[in-house]
Chains A and B, each alone.
Chain A
Amino acid sequence: MSLLHVTIDGIPVEVEKGTTILEAAERVGVKIPTLCHIKGLMPDGSCRICTVEIQNRGRSKMDTACSAHCSEGDAILTRSEAVVKARRGILDMLLSNHPTNCFSCPSNGECKLQDLCYEYGVKETSCPGEMSNRPVDDSNPFFTYDPNLCILCHRCVNTCHKIVGCGAIDTMERGFESVISPAFGMPWRESNCESCGNCVAACPTGALTSKRKQNYRPWQVEKKVLTTCPHCAVGCQYYLMVKDNKVVGVEAADGPSNHNTLCVKGRYGSYDFIHSNGRLTDPLIKDRSTGEFRKASWEEALDLVASKFQAIKREYGNGALAGFACSRSTNEDIYMLQKMVRTCFGNHNTDNCARV
């Protein structure tokens, strides 16, 4: 197939037919801002912020980079005066229906609208008017929806429909009254929402926010550690967000089996237990007469275990011991456990909970 030749801000690039301007720009490292776009899905095109100027054969037109395909000879301008004016206009409009008390917003510091307004120097709206005033939906235990902070980019809706395949939410009402909502305006909690939180992760503003965010601000996260979810065998990849040596949240990663998505267990049910008060912190030895446990040192506990096992082995033979591994633990742990059984117990009485 023959290639099309276009330039992006003067940088030439060859692309296949059907390549969007956004994709072409990405190839040459030109960053075009987006709000509604989700890579891999059909363009939504609702936010219009990726508007660029396309010059060809003496004519100039504006179009959205997420949806417009490159044509032979296009000279695409991503930061021309007309482009900046259009983007400022869009931000101006969005800001006319968006509160600017960012200090009290859970997404302060990681809000794309905030970032773009800063970048384009839009400090306040030039056309103030009526602002949405709808009740906040606090019904889901994991997250909150504040429609008044919503810019209707539909990332949540597209995520829920096309990626999660759940379809719990959609746009309701029309015109200025449009709002994202579960069916018939029912509370989030009562809908068919599966609480996977992928919509929350997709939200560019503070409209959908995790309630756990009250425990930390984005800039307080000291490190993000890429790891594998410990629940089912899909093996989703995600980051553990660590603040003060505690895991405070989870962020999906682009793993081969999960592609930036997570389920409710992975996103919300995979770290509280780490810091649970119920965690065992010391070896415990049971007094057989009372049935009570007492704390013990590692030396004492390990010596006791080794000597008891040795004694059983001596008295009843190698076959009298067994060791079960945990199919929730790591390969390395399991390998060492079966090695222990085979080398020290002297038998193959080892198994795991694959069957149960």
Chain B
Amino acid sequence: MRMEDRNSLLERRETAQQALSAYRCRILVCAGTGCIASGSQVIAETMRKLCQDLPNVEVECCGHVPHIGIANTGCQGICELGPLVRIEPYHYQYVKVKPEDCAEIVEKTVCRGEPVERLFYESQNGKTCPKPEDIPFMAGQTRVVLEHCGNIDAVSLDEYIAVGGYDALSKALFDMTPDQVIQEVDRSGLRGRGGGGFPTGTKWKQVAAHTEAPVKYVVCNGDEGDPGAFMDGSVMEGDPYKLIEGLTIAGYAVGATEGYIYVRAEYPNSVSRLHYAIAQAEEAGLLGENILGSGVTFHLHVNRGAGAFVCGEGSALTASIEGNRGMPRTKPPRTVDHGLWEQPTVLNNVETYANVPNIVLRGADWFRTIGSDNSPGTKTFSITGSIANTGLIEVPMGTTLREIIYDIGGGIKGGGDFKAVQIGGPSGGCLTREHLDVGLDFDTVKKYDAIVGSGGLVVMDEHTCMVEVARFFMSFTQRESCGKCSPCRIGTKRMLEILERIVAGKGTLEDLDKLEEIAEFVRKNSLCGLGKSAPLPVISTLKRFRKEYEEHIVDHKCAAHVCEALKQYKVDPDKCIGCTKCARNCPVEAISGTVKQPHAIDPDKCIKCGTCLSGCPVGAIYVD
């Protein structure tokens, strides 16, 4: 089982490829968290049972007997359309598959190679898309990090090897010195995908330079905590070996023998698949002592977070691994000098490490052909909110918002108007219509008071109140503030209080000035990056939607009709027939009027319960 040299890897690849091609048919069921939630595991089980009943074939049995494979793949990103089932070698992509569809799929496609057309995706312009790449959502992407997601069994080491996995590691170990690996990563211009965009090569060089350290660490930040972000989770559960390979290369490059993957508590699939994959890789001699007989050692451990957003911050994350309360510390010393257990530590996020095997294998020059000059490569984004196709995408850095929202995302859900997008999570900022043609990369987005962050995109339309958005994110950051430094702990609380006043219609214009003042104070004086960026949603919405704030304060109006306290129930006197039903049903006697005369609602008494609105026989009551 254990591979003792480079050659064994090549032999194993050949065997694995032969095995793959020997399948008569393969059923690839998406086992991303999204598809699992929509029932893909039931589909997989049903498929297995149905196939087992087929005459003259075996399920999952290699050899000379005709056999069918059923595999759980990583997330393909179009979670909106799950459960997804793909049948190879015909390359048919079925969407929204239900258990009752399985028999037909087996009968037609598995047995006869015929499509089940009704299960193909139909695009907005009515075009049928039999193959995955026909789907516009997929067509607009460049998949490097997510290249294997959807195409191979996520936890099968052999399938990973069959598609070229561990080629990069063996190249690094046998053809390159650690220094050459770092040079390659440095030359590729790869920047940290966790949000900061710090050059990865520089970081690795700094850690490699600590030749005096008795032990060094490679740490992977998989504590993806931004609301609506699931890029890293998809890599960890969808292509665990790629991440492990990337981490192992990093360990070799900087001279670390121990690695940790810190996975957020809410990703049980990632944790179990990583554990499984690590055990497989160790057994195969691709991890642990003397990897592929090279004499290089690298051990990898998985740590589960405990649900604290702040543990996504580097020093809080290492504190948490050490068993302490996850709280950021001041720098210097930097993590590269004094990281985990005070030893030099490389800390990158999942997506960064997942880029490494391709950079090592295909070279820095190839990598630089993708993306923009200062931000080469691709970036994964999770697009959520008021968008037609929610899901996970990967595009070259520098792709414009317009391409992402309209070409890939299919535009605004329900055909409404695009208003803004929150980028970079709760501590990011918002971009608006005027930024639609801005190419998204680290440096450009920064110019507009936002950050690429880890890549969460929350799309908002006209039905979104920007004050409420700011309040929502502020309540998140306040709740998730570690409580260490006073600007963040108290400042976010005071900002939240002001925002709560404004959405309740109780704000003043002085509040706006105070809000701006505190936001600026928190940004400048907080201890860690999370605190410094916590006010960004407030700062950017105040900058771009100040009018909305003022409307809330001066006119007591929420144009998006979101803020409950500002909704005004009114009676249209032209429509009202004076039936008195509303007055009788009103629990607080806020409605008055005489029979057959138009009624009126006293806004001071009204508690906005909506009873009158739903009960009016002629639709005379409306919300202003």
Contact = CB atoms under 8 A, between A and B. Distances in A.
A–B touch (CB < 8 A): the answer is yes
Interface stretch (A124-132, A233-241, A245-253, A300-308): A124-132
Contacts of B489: 152, 175-176, 178
B483 A94 contact: no
Interface in B240-284: none
A173 B494 contact: no
Interface in A172-208: 173-178
A214 B310 CA distance: 41
A181 B527 CA distance: 22
B497 A129 contact: yes
B561 interface: no
A47 B490 CA distance: 11
Given A64-B330, A93-B494, A175-B489, A154 B527 contact: no
Given A46-B485, A130-B497, A177-B483, A86 B332 contact: no
Nearest to B328: A45
A67 B493 contact: no
B513 to A, nearest CB: 11
A90 B514 contact: no
Contacts of A176: 478, 481, 483, 489-490, 492-493
Interface in B429-488: 478-487
B52 to A, nearest CB: 50
Interface string A159-176: 000000000001101111
Contacts of A69: 332
B494 A127 contact: yes
B478 A46 contact: no
A45 B486 contact: no
B329 A42 contact: yes
Interface in A52-98: 62, 64, 66-69, 86, 89-90, 93-94, 96-97
B49 interface: no
A108 B524 CA distance: 31
Interface centre among A64, A96, A171, A174, by most chain B C-beta atoms within 10 angstroms, is: A174
Contacts of B486: 46-48, 90, 93-94, 151-152
B210 to A, nearest CB: 15
A93 B524 contact: no
B491 interface: yes
B525 A175 contact: no
Contacts of A47: 485-486
A7 interface: no
What size tier do the contact residues of chain B reach?
A: 20 to 34
A174 B490 contact: no
B360 to A, nearest CB: 35
A178 B331 CA distance: 22
What size tier do the contact residues of chain A reach?
A: 35 or more
B478 A175 contact: yes
A346 interface: no
B485 A174 contact: no
Interface string B514-527: 10001001001111
A175 B497 CA distance: 13
B543 interface: no
Contacts of B332: 67-69
Nearest to B332: A69
A126 B514 contact: yes
Contact of B483 (A44, A67, A68, A178): A178
Contacts of A96: 490, 494
A126 B489 CA distance: 16
A39 to B, nearest CB: 15
A90 B487 contact: yes
Contacts of B492: 175-176
Nearest to B327: A171
Nearest to A173: B483
A37 to B, nearest CB: 11
B39 to A, nearest CB: 35
B532 to A, nearest CB: 11
A51 interface: yes
A97 B331 contact: no
B325 interface: yes
Contacts of B308: 174
Given A127-B494, A129-B497, A48 B483 contact: no
A175 B525 CA distance: 16
A48 to B, nearest CB: 5
A67 B485 CA distance: 14
B175 to A, nearest CB: 38
Contacts of A230: none
Contacts of B325: 170-171
Nearest to A45: B330
A94 B480 CA distance: 19
Contact of A93 (B331, B482, B490): B490
Interface in B309-350: 310, 325, 327, 329-332
A176 B488 CA distance: 9
Contact of B479 (A42, A94, A126, A175): A175
A152 B484 contact: yes
A43 interface: yes
Contacts of B497: 129-130
Contact of B481 (A68, A97, A175): A175
Contact of B490 (A43, A62, A97, A154): A97
Given A129-B497, A175-B479, A154 B484 contact: yes
A171 B489 CA distance: 13
Nearest to B477: A175
A154 B514 CA distance: 28
Contacts of A93: 486-487, 490-491, 494, 521
A238 to B, nearest CB: 31
Contacts of B331: 67
B487 A48 contact: yes
Contacts of A97: 490, 493
A288 to B, nearest CB: 67
Given A45-B330, A174-B479, A129 B485 contact: no
Contact of B330 (A66, A94, A152): A66
Given A129-B497, A170-B325, A175 B483 contact: yes
A299 B332 CA distance: 71
Contacts of A44: 329-330, 484
A48 B485 contact: yes
Contacts of B487: 48, 89-90, 93
A127 B483 contact: no
Nearest to A61: B524
A130 B498 CA distance: 11
A49 B310 CA distance: 22
A221 B494 CA distance: 40
Nearest to A161: B324
Interface string B166-206: 00000000000000000000000000000000000000000
A126 B494 CA distance: 11
B483 to A, nearest CB: 3
B527 A45 contact: yes
Contacts of A171: 325, 327, 482-484
Interface of B: 308, 310, 325, 327, 329-332, 478-487, 489-494, 497, 514, 518, 521, 524-527
27 contacts: A44-B329, A44-B484, A45-B329, A45-B527, A62-B524, A68-B332, A89-B487, A93-B487, A93-B494, A96-B490, A97-B490, A126-B514, A127-B494, A127-B514, A127-B518, A129-B497, A130-B493, A130-B497, A154-B484, A171-B483, A174-B479, A174-B482, A175-B489, A176-B481, A177-B483, A178-B482, A178-B483
Interface of A: 42-48, 51, 62, 64, 66-69, 86, 89-90, 93-94, 96-97, 126-127, 129-130, 151-152, 154, 170-171, 173-178
Given A44-B329, A171-B325, 17 more contacts: A48-B526, A62-B524, A67-B331, A67-B332, A90-B486, A90-B525, A126-B514, A127-B494, A152-B483, A171-B483, A171-B484, A174-B480, A175-B479, A175-B483, A175-B493, A176-B490, A176-B493
3 closest A-B pairs by CB? A178-B483, A45-B330, A67-B330
